[in-house]
């Protein structure tokens, strides 16, 4: 691919990286079209952070090819077209939002009127225009998160790496952050969005890649992932009023349901028939039902199905 803006925002081919005995990336391949929001999901220690840090030039892969708009990550052209919002609030707490934005704007090569305009735009975008002269350490957690995003986008990058931008913020700030992301998408910014919140990924991302043990184990749209992983796209949940006896448990498990305490979960390919069978089972064993629901299969179920339920750390 010829370097330049016609090249894909992000292109990874067979990336490998080890830290001593630990293999962090084990042949990651990935390509993003322009303007896409790609959700990057994975358990802790799966390789997400190493992949993101490779894209921003802070980790050098042992092998494989990585390109940002056709350039190696350490190339100045890649640096200028790429933005990074780390999970940590990586700002100077004693400086004001204006001073922080000025600093990171200069670090990205902006100056003069361009820098002034970028600061004003970023303050407006993050809803911090009226707090621009306060100390950053005096801002609320949500405000600092928004300023963290503004500092990573001050130079108007065309590829943005967002690392869990909504951790620890209240619902109002989260909505504001979603709005900010929607505005970036409207400007055709390509975004790699790392999160542990599945509903967030479902809501924001065009496509989702699940990474585990240093490999991309599944990638596609939410519906495609559900179909390819679970084979069905609906789940039945039942909550019993009391304990589920061994006979009923055996019956339910024969139907393919998973019983966990008083809860029952069934991935349903034929919901009407399967719900009828479940209800008959409860009725026969004289077990009362507190709640029953039929829902679209969630990304969380896909995630847990692919990565397992065991603790990773």
Partner 1 sequence: MIFAVAKSRLWNLRHDRAAFVLAFILPIVFFSIFASIFGRGSGRSATPRIRVAVVDEDHSPASRRFVAALKAESAMKAQEGPDAGSGKPAVYTEAAAEAAVRAGEMPIALVIPKGFAQGAIRFGPASDRAKILLLSDPSDPIAPQVLAGLIQKVAMTAMPDALARSGIDALDRWGGNLTQEQRRVLEENVARLPNAPAGSAGDGSGGLIDVALRDVLGQKKGNPMVAFYAAGLGVMFLLFSAAGAGGALIEEAESGTLDRILSTQVTMSRLLAGKLVYLAGIAAAQLTVMFLWGSLVFGLSMRGHWIGFFIMTVVTALAASTFGLLLAAVSRSRMQLVALSNLTVLAMSVVGGSMFPRFMMPEFMQKIGLLTLNAWAIDGFQKVFWREEPLTHLWPQVLVLSAISVVFFALARRIARRWEAV
Q: In 10 A of CB 27, how many CB atoms?
A: 15
Q: How far is CA 292 from the centre of its chain?
A: 30
Kindly list the residues in this chain that would bind partner 1 in the complex (CB under 8 A).
19, 53, 56-60, 74, 76, 79-80, 82, 84, 86-92, 104, 107-109, 151-152
- Smallest gap from Cβ 267 to partner 1, in A, equals 40
- Smallest gap from Cβ 60 to partner 1, in A, equals 5
Geometric angle at alpha carbon 11, from 8 and 13, rounded to 5°: 150
Backbone φ, ψ for residue 187 (5° rounding): -90, 10
- Smallest gap from Cβ 8 to partner 1, in A, equals 20
Pair of tokens at residue 143: 């405000």
CA distance 58 to 131: 32
- Smallest gap from Cβ 26 to partner 1, in A, equals 17
E strand segments, the chain? 10-19, 22-32, 37-41, 63-68, 82-85, 159-163, 190-194, 207-212, 215-220, 234-240, 258-260, 263-267, 289-296
Q: In 10 A of CB 137, how many CB atoms?
A: 12
- Smallest gap from Cβ 234 to partner 1, in A, equals 42
- Tell me how long the chain is: 313
CA distance 45 to 22: 10
- Smallest gap from Cβ 154 to partner 1, in A, equals 10
Full DSSP string of 146-183: HHHHHHHHTT--SEEEEESTTTT--HHHHHHHHHHHHH
Nearer to partner 1, 109 or 245 (CB): 109
- Smallest gap from Cβ 152 to partner 1, in A, equals 8
Nearer to partner 1, 13 or 89 (CB): 89
Nearer to partner 1, 84 or 193 (CB): 84
Nearer to partner 1, 59 or 267 (CB): 59
- Smallest gap from Cβ 40 to partner 1, in A, equals 17
Nearer to partner 1, 53 or 131 (CB): 53
Pair of tokens at residue 60: 């050098």
Nearer to partner 1, 60 or 247 (CB): 60
């Amino acid at each position: 691919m010829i370097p330049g803006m016609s090249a894909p925002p992000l292109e990874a081919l067979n990336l490998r990286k080890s830290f001593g005995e630990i293999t962090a990336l084990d042949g990651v391949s990935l390509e993003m079209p322009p303007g896409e929001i790609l959700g990057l999901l994975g358990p802790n220690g799966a390789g997400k952070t190493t992949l993101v840090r490779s894209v921003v030039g802070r980790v050098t892969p042992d092998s494989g090819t990585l390109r940002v708009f056709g350039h190696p990550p350490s190339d100045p052209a890649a640096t200028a077209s790429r933005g990074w919002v780390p999970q940590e609030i990586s700002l100077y707490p004693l400086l004001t939002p204006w001073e922080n934005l000025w600093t990171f704007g200069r670090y990205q090569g902006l100056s003069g009127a361009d820098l002034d305009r970028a600061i004003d735009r970023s303050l407006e975008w993050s809803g911090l225009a009226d707090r621009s002269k306060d100390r950053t350490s005096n801002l609320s957690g949500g405000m600092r998160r928004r300023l963290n995003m503004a500092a990573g986008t001050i130079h108007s990058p065309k590829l943005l790496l967002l690392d869990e931008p909504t951790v620890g913020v209240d619902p109002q700030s989260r909505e504001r952050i979603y709005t900010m992301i929607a505005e970036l998408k409207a400007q055709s910014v390509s975004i790699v969005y790392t999160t542990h919140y599945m509903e967030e990924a479902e809501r924001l991302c065009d496509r989702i890649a699940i990474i585990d043990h240093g490999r991309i184990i599944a990638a596609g749209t939410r519906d495609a992932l559900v179909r390819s992983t679970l084979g069905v796209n609906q789940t039945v949940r039942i909550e019993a009023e009391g304990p589920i006896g061994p006979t009923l448990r055996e019956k339910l498990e024969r139907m393919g349901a998973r019983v966990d305490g008083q809860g029952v979960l069934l991935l349903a390919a034929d919901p009407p028939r399967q719900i009828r069978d479940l209800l008959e089972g409860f009725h026969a064993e004289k077990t009362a039902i507190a709640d029953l629901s039929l829902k679209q299969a969630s990304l969380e179920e896909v995630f847990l199905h692919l990565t397992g339920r065991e603790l990773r750390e």
